[in-house]
Structure 1
Amino acid sequence: MRPAGNTISDYSDISSDFTVLSLNRRVSELLSTAFPQPVWVRGEIAEVSDSNARGHTYFRLIEPSPDGMGQPLAVIDCALFAGSRPLVVRQFARAGEVFQLTEGMTLRIGGRITLWDKGGRYQLIVEQIDPSWTMGDQAHRLRRLVDKLRKDGILEINSELRMPLAPLNIGLITAQGSAAEQDFVQGLAESRFPFRIFAAYAPMQGDGTTRGVIDAFNRLLAVPDIEVVVLSRGGGSSTDLAWFNDEHIAGVISQVPWPVISAIGHETDTTLPDYASHTSVRTPTHAANYLVNRIADLMLNIDSLAVMLHRAASRGVARARERLSSTAAVLLRSGMMIFRTQRQEISALENWLLRGARSSISAASGRLEQCGLSFESVLKTGALRRLEKDLDSLERTLALSVSRRLEMCSMHLQNLEAAVTGNSPQRLYRKGWATVRGINGELLRSISDTTIKEKIEVTLRDGSLSALIERITPGRTDNE
C-alpha cells in the first residue's frame, strides 16, 4: 500500500536516485554534520570480540532494561581501533587500573558517530574511555549489591560463627602458584606453629571466577578437620577484583560451616566477600599474620594464667601452712591442759588409795589388838593355832589387795600419760610420722583422696616437702 500523498511522480527526479554506497556515504555525511564533535555515551558492554589481526576490537554498548532481565532498551555497535587503544590504556594506567574490556562492564565512552559506508552499519568509533566514571560506577553497583544482601540478612551470617581460639587447620582458596598463595603459606611457615593448609584452587579473575570459587568451597566441605577458610587474591585493577562482586559468592560464604577470612587485593581495595565474610584483612600476608597472632595471643594468655595459678596456689599453701601451725599450737596447748588435768586426777586417786590403805591398816591393827586381848582366852580354848592361820590369811589377802589396787592405778596413770604425750604432733613427727595434704590443703587419709600427677604437701619434723604423685599402690585395709 502506497503512503498517502505520494505518487510515482514524487520519485521521478533523477537527483533522488542513489546507489547503495552513495546512500550510505550521504547518510554518513549527514551524521558528521549532525555530530561534528565527539560525543560521550554511557552504557554496558556486551558481545566483546577478540582483537583481530589488525589489533581492532569490536563490541556492543547497550542500555539495559530497568529490571536488568529483559531485552536491552537500545544497542549501538562500537569499534576500538588499534591506533586509539594505546591512549585508552594510558588513561587507565594513570588511574591505577589495567584496561580490559569485559561483558557487563559499565563505561563512559568518548567517540565519533559514523556510518560504515561499505557495511551500512551505524557505529561509535571509540577515541577515549573515562576510567574514573567506570570505577565510580563499579563502586556504586557494589554499594547497591551490599545494601540488598544486608537487607536479606546474608552478610551477617558468617560473622556470627565462632572463630576458634587456636585455628591450626586452614582451608585456602586461591590461584595455584600465585604470589598470594606464596605470601600466605610463607607467613604461616615462619611462625613455626603447626599449621595445616588444605588448598582448593580456583580462577581469581575472568568468567570462571564465580563458578571456580563456589566449586572450591564445595571441595573443602569434604575435609573434616578444617577450622577456618581463607579466600585470597593478590592486588589488581578494580576491574580484575570486580569478578568477586557476585552475590552467588556471598551466598556460598553465608552457607559454609566455618568462619571465612577475606584477603583480596591491596590496602585500599574492597570487594563483596569483605562484607560477607567473618573477618576481612587487606592482603594475603595480613591473613597469615591474623592467624599467627591469634595463636600467639592464646599462648600468652595461657602463660599469664599459669603465673596467676602459681601465685594463687602459693598463697593457698602459705595460708594452709599458717593454719596448720596454728592448729598444732592449739593441739599442743590442749594436750598440756589435758595432761595437767589427768595428773591432778592421778594425784587425787593416789591420795585416795593411801587413805584407804591407812584405813585398812588401822582397822587391821584394831582387829589385831582385839586378837591380842583375846589371846589368852584363845590359849585357854585351844584355838591359838586357828587364829594364827586366820591372821596369816588376812595379812596375805590385805597385802595382795593393796598391791593389785596400786598396780591398777599405776597402769591407769601410765595409759593416761601415754595418751597425752603420744598424741602431740611434735612427738609424732620425731618418731618419723608425717602428715600429707592435697592441693586444697585437706589431709589425705586414703589413696582414694588423690590421683596420679597431683601435687601433695608432706610435713615432717623440721619442714615440709612438695611432691608429685607418680604411682598409687593399694594395700591391705583394716577390714581385710
Structure 2
Amino acid sequence: MNTLSLFELNNLVREAISVTLTDEYWVEAELSEVREVRGHCYMELIQKELFGNTPVAKASAKCWKTKWQRLCPKFESVTGQSFKAGLKVLLKVYPDFHEAYGFSWIVTDINPEFTMGDMARKRMEIINRLKMEGVFDLQKELTLPLFAQRIAVISSENAAGYGDFCRQLGDNPSGLKFYPRLFSAVMQGEEVEKSIVAALDKINIQADDFDVVVIIRGGGATSDMAGFDTLLLAENVANFPLPIITGIGHDRDESILDMVSHMRVKTPTAAAAFLVDHLERVYERVLDAENEILTGIRHRIEMEKARLQRLGEKVPMLFSLFKDRQEARLDRMLNHVSTAIGVRLERENRRLADLSRRMQPAMARRLLCENHRVDLLAQRAKAADPALLLRRGYSMTTLGGKIVRDATALKAGDEIVTRLEKGSVSSIIK
C-alpha cells in the first residue's frame, strides 16, 4: 500500500488547483470578519440561505498589502463606508493553496459599486418600511416651540463640534440665553445606534424639561455615516415627541436619520445658528408686538383725551341744563309737599274737632260712674273699720305687731297684746 505524507498530499492538491483553476473569478459574498495585520487584510467570507441566516458556504480570503493600500481607500471613497463585517461585496479572486497554511482566496480587486447598490437597496427597504408604518414624516408634523431655549444635545462629550455648538449659542450677537444639556453618546463606529437610542430614552423620561433635541457630530469620516442608517435608530427618532435637529453629516451626505428628523443642517455650528436665528425671529416678533401694543395704547389715550375734552366742554352747558331741571323738579316737589301738608292738616283738624265733641259726654258719663264707685268703696271701707268690731265686743290679739289667728303659733314666754274697745292688755304665755 502506497502512502503519502501530508505535505505530499497537500502538494498534489496545490498542483491540481493551479492546473484546473487558472483564471480569476468575481465572487459575491458577505463579510463575516475583517481584520488588518501588518498592512494585509484578512477576511472571512460567508453565503447565507436566501430567506434565512444559516450559512451555506464559508471561505477565507486575503488581500496583500500592496493591493489593499490601493483598494481600501477607493472602496471607502465610493461607498462612504469602511470595509467591515456585515457588508455584501463583489471580489475578484484567484485560488491559493499552501501546503502549510491551507486554502484561501487571494483578492485582487473589489467592486465598490456592487456594495453601493446593496447599501442603497437596504436604505430603500428601511425608508419604505418607515413610510409603510406611517412614521417617516411624523417629525415634520411637530412644531418647533417659539422659545426653543432648553436644548437636549446628543453628541460625544469631547467632540470639537459640541464645543463649537455651545460657543455659537453662547456668543450670539443678540445676547439671547440658551440652556443646552449634553447627553453623551458614541457618534461613530458600531455603537452609534445603541448609544443614541439610549440617550433618546434618557431624554424622553424628562421630555417636559426640554424644547428641542439636537444630534450633532463634530467631523468624522464619511465612512462612519453607516451607523445613522439603521431602522431602529430611525424609528426612535421618527416617533420621538420633541422636534429633533440633526447636524451629523457633510453637505453631500444625507442619512436616513437626517430624512426622518424634524430638520437637517450640515454641521453643529449650523444647528446652533438655526436655533439662534429662530429665537431672534421670535424676539423680533415680540418687539413688533410690543410696538404695536404701545402704538395702540397711545392712540387709545389720544382718543380718550379728545373725548374727555369734548365732554369737558359740554359740562357747563350740561350742568346748567341739569341745574334748571333739578330746580324745576324741586319746585314741583315743594308745591306738592305744601299742598299735601295743607290737606293733611285740615283733615287732622276736623278729626280733632270731632273727637273733642265726642269726648265731653263720654267724660261726664265716666266721672259719674267713678264717683259712684268711690262711694261704694267708702261704704265698704267704713264697714270694715276695726273700731266698729271692737265696739261690738270683739278684741284683737297681736304678737310683735302682727294679728294672732292661730293659738298653736304661740309658745311659752311669748308676750302678746290684746286690744279692746277701750285700752289694751299685755299677757305672757306660760
TM-score by length of 1: 0.60
- The gaps in structure 2 that reach 5 residues or longer are 333-430
Find the residue that maps to 2:136 and give its secondary structure: coil
Change (3 A) 1:163 1:249: same
Aligned residue number for residue 43 of structure 2:
59
Report deviation, 1:266.
1.0
User: CA offsets, 1:177-233, max 9 Å, x none?
Assistant: 112212211211212422222112121122222221122223334546222211111
Corresponding residue SS for 1:294: helix
Query: Which residue among 220, 227, 233 is the counterpart of 2:217?
Result: 233
Q: Tell me if structure 2 keeps the 8 A contact 1:111–1:126.
A: yes
Q: For the aligned residues, what is the CA RMSD?
A: 3.2
Cross-structure match for 2:25: 39
Structure-2 change in CA distance of 1:244 and 1:334 (3 Å): same
The letter of the residue matching 1:296 is: E
> Shift of residue 287 of structure 1?
1.0
Give the alignment partner of residue 26 of structure 1, picking from 3, 12, 15: 15
1:376-432 Cα offsets, whole Å, 9 max, x none, are xxxxxxxxxxxxxxxxxxxxxxxxxxxxxxxxxxxxxxxxxxxxxxxxxxxxxxxxx
Query: Which residue in the other structure is 1:397 paired with?
Result: none
State the partner residue of 2:245: 261
What amino acid maps onto 1:194 in structure 2? Answer: K
Aligned-partner residue type, residue 153 of structure 1: G
Change (3 A) 1:155 1:129: same
Q: Which amino acid letter does the alignment assign opposite residue 163 of structure 2?
A: Q
Write the mapping of 1:22-421 to structure 2, written as runs, cut at 5 A.
22-33=11-22, 35=23, 38-48=24-34, 50-52=35-37, 54-67=38-51, 69-92=52-75, 95=78, 97=80, 100-121=82-103, 123-191=104-172, 192-223=175-206, 225-336=209-320
Q: Is the 8 A contact 2:14 2:96 kept in 1?
A: no
The whole-number CA distance in structure 1 between the counterparts of 2:291 and 2:61 is 73
Distance 2:310 2:98 in 1: 111
Larger C-alpha radius of gyration, 1 or 2?
2
- 1:156, distance to aligned residue in structure 2 (A): 3.0
User: 1:438 maps to what in 2?
Assistant: none
- TM-superposed CA distance for 1:96, in Å, is 8.6
**Distance (whole Å) between structure 1 residues aligned to residue 83 and residue 61 of structure 2:** 12
Query: Which AA in structure 2 matches 1:206?
Result: G
Query: 8 Å contact 2:75–2:83 — kept in the other structure?
Result: no
User: How many angstroms does 1:74 deviate by?
Assistant: 3.7
Distance 1:217 1:24 in 2: 57
CA contact (8 A) 1:31 1:113 kept: no
Determine if contact 1:154/1:250 at 8 Å carries over to the other structure: no
Percent identical among aligned pairs is 25
1:40 to 1:245, Cα distance in 2 relative to 1, 3 A? same
Provide the rounded CA distance (Å) in 1 between the counterparts of 2:95 and 2:220: 33
Q: Secondary structure at the match of 1:181?
A: helix
Change (3 A) 1:314 1:195: same
Return the alpha-carbon distance in structure 2 between the equivalents of residues 95 and 254 of structure 1.
Answer: 29
Residues of 2 paired with 1:147 and 1:94: CA distance?
26
How far has the Cα of 1:341 moved from its partner? 8.1
Given residue 33 of structure 2, which amino acid in structure 1 is its aligned partner?
Answer: E
What are the superposed Cα offsets for residues 316-367 of structure 1, whole Å, 9 maximum, x if unpaired?
2222222223333344443455678899x8xx99xxxxxxxxxxxxxxxxxx
- Structure 1 portions without partners, runs of 5+: 1-11, 350-480
**1:234·1:283 contact (CA, 8 Å) conserved in 2?**
yes
What is the total number of aligned residue pairs between the two structures?
325
Structure 1 contact 262–274 (Cα < 8 Å) conserved: yes
Partner of 2:66, secondary structure, is coil
Q: Which amino acid aligns with 2:54?
A: Q
- Measured in 2, the distance between the counterparts of 1:153 and 1:94 equals 34
How far is 1:297 from its partner? Answer: 0.8
The answer to whether the 8 A contact 2:63-2:106 is kept is yes
* Aligned equivalent of 1:359: none
Q: Distance in 2 between matches of 1:252 and 1:57?
A: 36
Aligned residue identity for 1:146: I
| TM-score between the two structures when normalised by the length of structure 2 | 0.67
Q: Tell me how far apart the structure 1 counterparts of residues 70 and 54 of structure 2 sit (CA, whole Å).
A: 33
Q: Cα distance, 1:151 vs. partner?
A: 0.8
Distance 2:27 2:120 in 1: 19
CA contact (8 A) 2:33 2:85 kept: yes
